[in-house]
Amino acid sequence: MGFWSSVGSAVSSAARSVSSAVSSVGRGISSAASAVWDTAKSAARTAVDWMADEAENFVGKVKDVWKMAKPWVEKIAPYISKGIALLPFPWAGAVAKAVEKGIQALLALENSPILKKVEQAIIWASNAAKHFREMYLTPKDVKEAEQRQKDLQEAMDAMKTEEQRQSIRFAAVINDYILVQTHIQEILEKDTIQDFSHYLRLRATQKLLRAAEKTLNTARNLDEITADDSFLLRIGADLLAENANLSDADAEKLDSIIKRRFSGKSLIPFVFEELICAWETKNQNMEAKWNQMNKEVASLKRKIKQLEVKMQIESLTANEEVELVNLKNDAKNTAYQLTQQAEENRAMQSYVHAAEGFLQVLEKTAEQFEEEGRDYIVDDVAAVGRLLIECAQNGKQWSELTEEEQSLITDYANIFAEDSKKRTQELVEAEV
């Protein structure tokens, strides 16, 4: 089981428990319909997990996809904010009094060693907050930031009230933000995307970082910078680790925070929509390649036609005869490549847009699908998912599927084609 598969299982297990509890006391769709829908969601989740874990069998090497996705991923990296003037924080005025209370609380605990460290951390964070979105750390600074992280957490653990913890939490958030931002930049600079799981962890962290940044920029008072913001940044750092690990409890908590902050979106769609976005980008590049090749074929045919017409009127020169032979060979080869590219494009489109369909099954309720007039797709989810898992498990190519199997996937995928393109566009626009 891959990293995201295990995370998805933890979240789904918790969701099923809640759903069962609600169903036992609530009203809604019939039990039979509910069972069908639960089966569809399970199939969709399994299919998406497999497509992510075995993505290279569907859409090629992660390095190739990364080459296409990296330009716009870099655009939405935090350092894009360099040119943006940072306005004074609305909550900055409250920091001095809050910090004073927090330090008094530590003094009351007679914890002088940690107090000294916290004072230093607060001074550092206060200065860093002035330009936190464009600040990056050296390897030495990273070690110091990691130590500040531990010191501030130790101090907050020692405090008795939320008000006391709140007084220094802003320093932890600023410290963790810059730490995570630095790690992201390292990955982008070193170009060290290992696999699709790593890619998804990077993109998830970028989005969590922006959520924390929004809080820092829009909070009217210090109370709005909460433990959730610290949690998002800590999880972001965990996700970037080489051997990433996320406990079931943290996965469930992250899922609940994302639902509150991202329009009700749950963790799994929040993560996996980035995979669809990357694939859709590659899909669009493949379509552009086919269009270019098609133009080349048309141009070759025009040149051939011109020479053939001329040949009917007069004899061709020796150079023209050679040119005609070469043009016909080029046209034949390019036409063959065009056919191959069309086949690859069809497969790519089907996989990407089918994945969009699975994601929507995870995002939406049965009632929403019914309102959209798409409830008929429920019966196809398991069948299409089974086929794609089979492809993933066995490295089965599109051309190896029967016409009936290809049609089943294609028909299902076509329903969600425009939605896939729309999702990609919205994700890019939301970030830049």
Ranges of each domain in the chain: 85-263, 274-431
Residues 245, 4: Cα–Cα separation, whole Å: 10
Residues 363, 255: Cα–Cα separation, whole Å: 13
Number of neighbours of residue 235 by Cβ within 10 angstroms = 20
Q: CB–CB of 107/115 below 8 Å?
A: yes
Residues 20, 8: Cα–Cα separation, whole Å: 18
Share of the chain above pLDDT 70, in %: 77
Name the DSSP class of 88.
P
State residue 260's pLDDT score.
87
pLDDT exceeds cutoff 70 at 89: no
State residue 4's pLDDT score.
66
- What's CA 19's distance to the chain center, in Å? 26
Q: What is the mean pLDDT of residues 410-422?
A: 90
Tell me the pLDDT band of 68, cut-offs 50, 70 and 90.
Answer: low
What ranges in 159-266 are assigned the alpha helix state H? 162-190, 196-218, 227-240, 248-261
Name the DSSP class of 399.
G
Tell me the pLDDT band of 21, cut-offs 50, 70 and 90.
Answer: very low
Which of 16-25, 84-93, 219-228, 407-416 tops mean pLDDT?
407-416
Q: CB–CB of 146/179 below 8 Å?
A: yes
- The torsion region of residue 420 among left (phi > 0), alpha (psi -120 to 50) and beta comes to alpha
Q: What is the mean pLDDT of residues 163-188?
A: 84
Q: What is the mean pLDDT of residues 378-385?
A: 87
Tokens of 276: 């669809």
What ranges in 76-135 are assigned the alpha helix state H? 92-108, 112-128
Q: What is the mean pLDDT of residues 294-311?
A: 93
3-state helix, strand, coil in the chain (%, to 5): 85, 0, 15
Q: What is the mean pLDDT of residues 223-234?
A: 85
CB neighbour list of residue 39: distance below 8 Å, 6 or more residues apart: 382
State residue 129's pLDDT score.
75
Q: CB–CB of 225/162 below 8 Å?
A: no
- Nearest CA among 50, 136, 155 for reference residue 388: 50
In this structure, the chain runs to a length of 432
Which of 190-199, 236-245, 346-355 tops mean pLDDT?
346-355
Q: Range with the lowest mean pLDDT among 88-102, 334-348, 397-411?
A: 88-102
Tell me the pLDDT band of 259, cut-offs 50, 70 and 90.
Answer: confident
Number of neighbours of residue 337 by Cβ within 10 angstroms = 15
State residue 16's pLDDT score.
57
Tokens of 121: 């951390």
Residue carrying the six token digits 């429920």: 378
Give, in degrees to the nearest 5, the angle at Cα 364 between 359 and 366: 120
pLDDT tens by residue, 264-296: 778 878 888 887 887 888 888 889 999 999 999
pLDDT exceeds cutoff 90 at 190: no
Tokens of 383: 């069948």
Q: CB–CB of 41/362 below 8 Å?
A: yes
Residue 331, helix vs strand vs coil: helix
Burial of 395 by CB count in 10 Å (0-12 exposed, 13-18 middle, 19+ buried)? Answer: exposed
Residues 233, 211: Cα–Cα separation, whole Å: 9
Give, in degrees to the nearest 5, the angle at Cα 190 between 187 and 195: 60
pLDDT tens by residue, 384-396: 988 888 877 777 7
pLDDT tens by residue, 111-135: 556 777 887 887 788 778 777 777 8
Residues 105, 158: Cα–Cα separation, whole Å: 9
pLDDT tens by residue, 34-53: 777 888 888 888 887 777 66
Residue carrying the six token digits 């829908």: 37
State residue 43's pLDDT score.
84
